[in-house]
Amino acid sequence: MEGTVFVVLLIVAILVSLIVRRGQERKIKEKVESIGGEIINIEYRKFFAGPFVIINRISSVYRFEYRKDNQIKEGWVKFNLFSSDWILK
């Protein structure tokens, strides 16, 4: 019984994590498209947080590449619980 509860909770946690990550990637794509760019690549960064010095357990950091005006550019975003910090180069 206890093992079954643990497995169910683990599956729910994984599903919630996947849903959150997919939503964050969608927000990155929408942001880049709003400035006239096109996403090339999105990377989730757990340990190397790029320009963000301080991150906590509930923060998610992404590095992404996008094309705008025939140039490949780099961007970073840190999603917190209720906000996000963007760096577009």
Domain coordinates in residue numbering, the chain: 2-88
Q: Which two tokens stand for residue 34?
A: 């709003």
pLDDT digits (tens, 9 = 90+) for 25-56: 999 999 999 999 999 999 998 888 888 877 77
First vs last C-alpha separation in the chain: 52
For residue 81, report the phi and psi dihedrals to the nearest 5 degrees.
Answer: -60, -45
* Calpha distance 39→64 (Å, rounded): 7
pTM summary value? 0.85
pLDDT digits (tens, 9 = 90+) for 48-88: 888 887 777 788 999 999 999 999 999 999 999 889 999 99
Q: Which helix (H) or strand (E) holds 31?
A: helix 2-34
pLDDT of residue 89: 85
